[in-house]
């Protein structure tokens, strides 16, 4: 908490660094990984040994597209470092500032509708390098000025405020769409969110669309951005966004720079432009049938929840996965109108599971305890009758498991860090590998199922991105394609006798299809029950029934139909992807440029781990009167060494402080150290004649230590355990000889253990329903002073009276030596009081958190209020100490009060929570001011 009068100055330094924050994990890779590099003019691709072919291809793509795409965003070029991460189990990537670097996470997603079927590295290269070009061409005008002063942190601040995130992502999605034969801009799934709002008549304000809601579903800024970018390029030329980006980053208009740039370069106001763009796509995507499908819901209904991956037990009983903004993901069984909870699901990548003969099998996500860039996907089996679960595999990377007919074997997709993909046949009893199916074609498999004991039916993705439904021979790996191959995505195959049902993209919709295995005839499933929904996914086949899910403004919803009421229309044409009336996708110079890409020929070399170890990137000011500090921040590209070189000034005493702080995270324990040298400290004391005199000294503080951060996440809990130990040495150079003994040199140890554990928190809940956070710390001198201090504190979270409410208890105890009081007070004192470091302190606090309102409203595209939430509290602290005459001091510090928190979004993209606290003191504030009533502004500990 920071007092109100300091808030605007203290925020400055936090903002500079926060806008450059990204998804990187400090010290996340084990030291056993050896790194190589392909170093070209536009990018240095850094990768683990063994990924040479992938790195060369990505470097070749970047070289190939760079010159063609520069006219559409700008010609400035600054080489970027791209680190390939191959130990994770998700598809992702980012480009960040402070420092300027990029990372690619190279595991393909099973669901080909979400990101497409192109090789994941290809898509990341095209998409993420566009962000590199955006950043490179933002160094103009005011953004360039702030970068010159504050480094990349200043650039991140200026650019982040001027240019909305929808522009960055929409422009990158457009890049991947027009430079390839697919891209998300051609996938109906990508637009499902907006289709659902339009079909339901949800005419949300622009600020609600930009910032979201705790009660209603809103799409993220990716599809919004693509629609605006595509409309702009279609109607105003392929260089319109280069001009807009330049003018906004330069702050040609100091207020609302991006909105003004849009008007300057299109002739339309920002409001008119975005309305025209969204209207264009609404006309392409909305049909009367989709509007009819939403009539089953009340027009003012909020988000309901998701029902996904249905599977039939029999025609009257179905199992599916259910989740909502207030409920964790749960396996459910529904018979008629009766729902029964089977079990809460573990953490998963995509929620997929398979059921057969009373058992569920699915892949549970588990991070490595120490190395955050390494994850596993381990198979779990659930007994539907009892809800009990047991683990089948350990430290594996399996996806989309499925049983055979008698539950004796399981097929799963194995994805190795090397980029090798395979189908594994496992023993369902002990998880042992029975057979690795050969994969000579380098295919990526999705959602495999047993067709029989010798063949697997699966959706396959070829290196070209083309997909088909195919049978794969278990012994030889030979592929028998059941459907014609094409770039349109396919997924969710399910087998009934000699027919395979699946979802495929056809035109502007994702539809249900069936293929007859003996003759390879493909049919589109049609019927009134299928026409009214936004995408038909995840088919489940009963004896006489068909179930599936579709998207809506209220979540994924489950539907059923009698198979007898469906028509099977023969399909004779390979489905094509739509372009939604954006002709520029084929007319611009870089259209489908990826088709002619070749790998880079640059020699690969070793990448030394200590390359540019300091890599200073930002000068960050921290102003918290009376302390003023400037810090030069550094971080190496592999993110294993962080440094902070700073200068500080204290206005009250006039002292100057020079500091160097560093932490190295490549070993199992972090190694950290700090040096502080302070000049011209001063205070007042009494000389031998009891006269008040000024005491002056210089101060040197040295610290070195280790830290072991562990994350035991798996199942349904996140558990963190952190051990920290340091030795600290302070040297005081006192100018006046008479006071040298009053400020002796000191050496002490600081040891602490922090434990935290929580269950997954649904989106709308303020706090997790069950969580614990416990800290134990002990500080003691190892010299003649013989001083020590012990602190134990804990916070415990429980459910409230309603699912969104939370009951929180705080307890703490601190004790120290009687003589010295060398260590500062760390106990969380009763709110409202001025704290003092007493000999013994005990604290108990009770809090009750609850939502107050969900305004979903904002002002001027600057501040948006998502939620108001309250907290009522009672704090009790008891302290004891000793007077010099040997008598005991005791006091109670009780307070009650209420807090009102504002969960807000700033600039339509950055979350900040702040609050106001009223405290009524029930006892005297003996160490502080007068009066029993206190009003405090509560500011965030971190911003953006």
Of 76-80, 700-704, 812-816, 937-941, the range with the lowest mean pLDDT is 937-941
Q: Domain range holding 87?
A: 32-136
Cα 286 from chain centroid? 31
From CA 468, how far away is CA 459, in angstroms rounded? 6
Q: State how far the Cα of 590 lies from the Cα of 204, in Å rounded to an integer.
A: 36
pLDDT at 23: 53
Looking at the fold, whether 897 and 922 belong to one and the same domain comes out as yes
Instruction: Give whole-number Cα distances, 218 to 186, 195, 202, 553, 601, in Å.
Output: 21, 11, 10, 8, 45
d(CA 143, CA 139): 6
pLDDT at 298: 83
Contact 874, 845 (CB under 8 A): yes
The domain spanning residue 111 has which CATH number? Answer: 3.40.30.160
Task: Determine the Cα–Cα distance for residues 568 and 57; give it in Å rounded to an integer.
Answer: 43
Kindly state whether residue 5 falls inside one of the protein's structural domains.
no
CA distance 389 to 391: 7
How many angstroms separate the CA atoms of 107 and 124, rounded?
11
Is 417 in contact with 48 (CB distance < 8 Å)? yes
Tens of pLDDT, residue by residue over 141-181, are 999 999 999 999 999 999 999 999 999 999 999 999 999 99
DSSP β-bridge partners for residue 436: 424
pLDDT in tens, 275-300: 999 999 999 999 988 998 888 888 78
Residue where a domain terminates, one of 136, 152, 170: 136
| Residue 772, H or E segment | strand 771-781
Q: Which residues are CB-neighbours of 887 under 8 A, at least 6 positions away? A: none
Q: What is the pLDDT of residue 710?
A: 96
- d(CA 897, CA 387) in angstroms, rounded, equals 43
- Which long-range CB contacts under 8 A does 934-941 form with residues at least 24 apart? 934/832, 934/897, 936/1, 936/3, 936/4, 936/831, 936/832, 937/2, 937/3, 937/4, 937/7, 938/1, 938/899, 938/901, 938/914, 939/1, 939/2, 939/7, 939/10, 939/11, 939/914, 940/912, 940/913, 940/914
Helix (H/G/I), strand (E/B), else coil: 63: helix
Asked if 829 and 812 count as a contact pair (C-beta separation under 8 A), the reply is: no
Residues 928 and 809 both lie in one domain: yes
Closest CA to 531 of 559, 491, 495: 559
What is the spatial distance between Cα 206 and Cα 550, in angstroms, rounded to a whole number? 26
> Is position 7 within any domain?
no
The verdict on 61 and 98 lying in the same domain is yes
Q: Which helix (H) or strand (E) holds 514?
A: strand 509-516
Whether 477 maps to a domain, the answer reads yes
pLDDT of residue 785: 80
Please say if the pLDDT value at position 550 is more than 60: yes
Q: How confident is the model at residue 34 (pLDDT cuts 50, 70, 90)?
A: very high
DSSP letter for 351, please: -
| pLDDT for position 94 | 96
Closest-CA residue to 506 (of 181, 174, 186, 183): 186
Are 325 and 428 members of one domain? Answer: yes
* Neighbour-count burial of 692, counting CB atoms closer than 10 A to its CB (0-12 exposed, 13-18 middle, 19+ buried): exposed
Note whether residue 581 is domain-resident: no
Do 354 and 498 reside in the same domain of the chain? yes
pTM reported for the whole predicted model: 0.94
Q: What is the pLDDT of residues 875-932, one digit of tens each?
A: 999 999 987 677 889 999 999 999 999 999 999 988 999 999 999 999 999 998 888 9
pLDDT computed for residue 21 by the predictor: 45
Q: Looking up tokens 């501040």, which residue turns up?
A: 863
Residue 607 located in a structural domain:
no
- 346 and 226, same structural domain? no
570, 601, 630 - which closes a domain: 570
Query: 904 and 865 in contact (C-beta within 8 Å)?
Result: yes
Judged against a pLDDT cut of 60, whether residue 594 lies above it is answered with: yes
Over residues 732-747, the pLDDT tens digits come to 888 877 777 777 888 9
**Residue 535 in contact with residue 556, Cβ under 8 Å?**
no
pLDDT band at 8 (very low <50, low <70, confident <90, very high): very low
SS (H, E, C) 429-455: CCCCEEEEECCCCCCEEEEEEECCCCE
Q: For residue 7, what are its two tokens?
A: 């808030």
Does residue 799 sit in the same domain as residue 847?
A: yes
What six digits make up the tokens of 371?
């190395």
Q: 562-576 burial string, b = 16+ CB within 10 Å, else e? A: eeeebebeebeeebe
Indicate whether 691 pLDDT > 80: no
Residue 592 lies in a domain: no
Say yes or no: 120 and 149 in one domain: no
Query: Which residue, of 97, 116, 136, is where some domain finishes?
Result: 136
- DSSP secondary structure letters along 194-256: HHHHHHTT----HHHHHH--SSS----HHHHHHHHHHHHHHHH-TTHHHHHHHHHHHTSSSSS
Asked whether the beta carbons of 102 and 81 are under 8 A apart, the reply is: yes
Range in 44-58, 115-129, 693-707 with the lowest mean pLDDT: 693-707
Q: What is the pLDDT of residue 219?
A: 97
3-state helix, strand, coil in the chain (%, to 5): 20, 45, 35
> Residue 184 and residue 595: Cα distance in Å, rounded?
17
Q: At what angle do helices 165-178 and 221-236 cross, to 10 degrees?
A: 70
Cβ atoms < 10 Å from Cβ of 57: 20
3-state secondary structure 313-350: EECCEEEEEEECCCCCCEEEEEECCEEEEEEECCCCCC
The backbone torsions φ and ψ at residue 824, rounded to the nearest 5 degrees and listed phi first, read: -70, 155
Q: What was the pLDDT predicted at 783?
A: 85
190 pLDDT tier (thresholds 50, 70, 90): very high
Residue 4: predicted pLDDT: 29
Which CATH number goes with the domain that contains 434?
2.120.10.30
User: pLDDT (tens digit, 9 = 90+) per residue, 465-516?
Assistant: 999 999 999 999 999 999 999 999 999 999 999 999 999 999 999 999 999 9
pLDDT band, residue 18 (cuts 50/70/90): very low
DSSP lists the bridge partners of residue 504 as: 490, 511
Residues 6+ apart with CB under 8 A from 758: 717, 718, 768, 770, 771, 772, 797
pLDDT for position 939: 83
153 and 123, same domain (yes or no): no
* Domain total of the chain: 5
Same domain, 298 and 282: no
Q: What percent of the chain has pLDDT over 70?
A: 96
Contacts of 879 (CB under 8 A, 6+ apart): 836, 838, 839, 840, 841, 842, 889, 890, 891, 893
SS3 string of 801-870?
A: CCCCCEEEEEEEEEEECCCCCCCCCCCCCCCCCCCCCCCEEEEEEEEEEEEEECCCEEECCCEEEEEEEE
Please identify which residue in the block is written with the tokens 């372009």: 579
Same domain, residue pair 258 and 243 = yes
What is the H or E stretch that residue 515 is in? strand 509-516
Chain-centre distance of CA 117, in angstroms? 23
* 14-23, 435-444, 684-693: range with lowest mean pLDDT: 14-23
Closest CA to 615 of 158, 155, 152, 139: 152
On whether both 162 and 124 belong to a single domain, the answer is no
576, part of any domain: no
**142-150 long-range Cβ contacts below 8 angstroms, 24+ apart:** 142/249, 142/250, 142/251, 142/254, 143/249, 143/250, 143/251, 144/250, 149/619, 150/16, 150/618, 150/619, 150/620, 150/621
Six token digits for residue 629: 């500090």
Q: Are 423 and 445 in contact (CB under 8 A)?
A: yes
Residue 147 and residue 141 in contact, taking contact as beta carbons nearer than 8 Å: no
In a domain, 111, yes or no: yes
């Amino acid at each position: 908490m920071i007092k109100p009068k300091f808030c605007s100055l203290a925020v400055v330094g936090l903002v500079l660094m926060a806008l450059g924050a990204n998804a990187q994990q400090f010290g996340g890779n084990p030291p056993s990984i050896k790194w190589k590099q392909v170093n070209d003019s536009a990018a240095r691709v850094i990768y683990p040994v063994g990924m040479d072919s992938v790195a060369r291809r990505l470097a070749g793509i970047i070289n190939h597209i760079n010159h063609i795409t520069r006219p559409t965003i700008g010609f400035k070029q600054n080489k970027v470092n791209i680190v390939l991460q191959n130990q994770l189990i998700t598809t992702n990537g980012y480009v960040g500032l402070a420092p300027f670097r990029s990372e690619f996470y190279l595991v393909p997603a099973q669901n080909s509708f979400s990101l497409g079927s192109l090789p994941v590295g290809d898509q990341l290269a095209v998409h993420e390098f566009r962000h590199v070009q955006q950043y490179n061409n933002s160094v103009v005008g005011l953004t360039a000025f702030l970068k010159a002063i504050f480094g990349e942190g200043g650039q991140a601040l200026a650019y982040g405020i001027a240019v909305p995130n929808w522009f960055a992502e929409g422009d990158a999605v457009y890049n991947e769409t027009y430079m390839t034969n697919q891209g998300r801009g051609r996938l109906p799934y990508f637009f499902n969110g907006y289709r659902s709002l339009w079909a339901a008549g949800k005419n949300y304000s622009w600020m609600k669309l930009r910032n979201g809601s705790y009660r209603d579903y809103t799409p993220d800024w990716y599809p919004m951005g693509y629609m605006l970018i595509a409309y702009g390029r279609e109607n105003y030329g392929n260089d319109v966004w280069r001009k807009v980006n330049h003018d906004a980053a330069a702050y040609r208009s100091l207020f609302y720079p991006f909105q003004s740039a849009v008007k300057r370069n299109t002739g339309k106001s920002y409001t008119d432009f975005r309305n025209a763009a969204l209207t264009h796509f609404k006309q392409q995507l909305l049909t009367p049938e989709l509007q009819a499908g939403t009539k089953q819901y009340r027009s003012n209904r909020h988000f309901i929840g998701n029902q996904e991956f249905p599977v039939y037990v029999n025609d009257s009983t179905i199992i599916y996965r259910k989740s909502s903004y207030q409920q964790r993901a749960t396996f459910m069984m529904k018979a008629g109108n009766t729902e029964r909870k089977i079990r809460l699901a573990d953490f998963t990548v995509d929620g997929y599971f398979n059921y057969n003969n009373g058992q569920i099998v699915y892949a549970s996500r588990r991070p490595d305890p120490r190395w955050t860039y390494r994850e596993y996907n381990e198979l779990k089996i659930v007994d539907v009758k009892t809800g009990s679960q047991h683990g089948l595999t350990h430290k594996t990377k399996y996806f989309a498991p499925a049983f055979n007919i008698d539950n004796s074997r399981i097929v799963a997709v194995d994805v190795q860090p090397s980029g090798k993909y395979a189908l594994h046949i496992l023993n369902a009893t002990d998880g042992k590998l029975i057979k690795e199916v050969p994969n000579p074609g380098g295919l990526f498999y999705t959602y495999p199922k047993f067709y029989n004991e010798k063949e697997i039916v699966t959706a396959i993705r070829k290196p070209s991105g083309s997909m088909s439904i195919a049978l794969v021979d278990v012994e030889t790996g030979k592929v028998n394609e059941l459907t014609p191959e094409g770039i349109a995505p396919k997924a969710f195959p399910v087998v009934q006798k000699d027919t395979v049902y699946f979802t495929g993209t056809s035109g502007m919709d994702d539809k249900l299809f069936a293929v007859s295995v003996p003759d390879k005839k493909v049919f589109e499933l049609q019927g009134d029950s299928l026409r009214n929904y936004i995408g038909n996914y995840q088919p489940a086949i009963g004896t006489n029934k068909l179930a599936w899910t579709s998207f809506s403004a209220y979540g994924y919803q489950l539907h059923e139909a009698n198979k007898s009421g469906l028509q099977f229309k023969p399909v004779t044409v390979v489905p094509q992807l739509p372009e939604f009336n954006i002709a520029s996708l084929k007319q611009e110079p870089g259209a489908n440029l990826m088709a002619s890409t070749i790998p880079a020929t640059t020699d690969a070399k070793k990448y030394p781990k200590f390359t540019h170890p300091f890599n200073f990137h930002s000068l960050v000011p921290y102003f918290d009167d009376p302390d003023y500090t400037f810090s030069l921040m550094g971080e190496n590209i592999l993110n294993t060494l962080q440094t902070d070189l700073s200068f500080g000034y204290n206005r009250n005493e006039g002292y100057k402080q020079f500091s160097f702080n560093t932490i190295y995270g490549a070993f199992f324990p972090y190694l950290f150290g700090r040096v502080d040298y302070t000049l011209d400290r001063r205070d007042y004391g009494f000389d031998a004649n009891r006269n008040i005199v000024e005491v002056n000294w210089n101060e040197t503080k040295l610290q070195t230590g280790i830290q072991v951060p562990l994350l035991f996440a798996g199942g349904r809990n996140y558990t963190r355990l952190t051990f920290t130990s340091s030795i600290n040495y302070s040297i005081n150079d006192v100018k006046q000889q008479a006071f040298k003994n009053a400020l002796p040199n000191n050496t002490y140890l600081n040891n602490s253990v922090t434990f935290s554990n929580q269950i997954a928190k649904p989106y709308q809940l303020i706090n997790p329903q069950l969580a614990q956070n416990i800290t134990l710390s002990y500080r003691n001198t190892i010299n003649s002073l013989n001083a020590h201090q012990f602190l134990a504190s804990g916070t415990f979270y429980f459910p409230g009276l309603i699912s969104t409410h939370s009951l929180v208890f705080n307890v703490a105890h601190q004790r120290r030596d009687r003589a010295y009081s060398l260590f500062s007070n760390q106990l969380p004192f009763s709110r409202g009081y001025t704290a003092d470091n007493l000999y013994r302190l005990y604290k108990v606090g009770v809090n009750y958190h609850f939502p107050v309102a969900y305004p979903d409203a904002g002002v001027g595209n600057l501040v948006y209020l998502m939620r108001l939430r309250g907290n009522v509290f009672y704090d009790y602290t008891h302290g004891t100490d000793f007077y010099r005459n040997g008598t005991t001091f005791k006091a109670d510090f009780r307070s009650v009060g209420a807090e009102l928190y504002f969960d807000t979004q700033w600039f339509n993209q950055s979350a900040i929570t702040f609050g106001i606290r009223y405290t009524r003191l029930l006892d005297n504030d003996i160490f502080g001011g007068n009066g029993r009533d206190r009003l405090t502004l509560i500011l965030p500990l971190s911003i953006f």
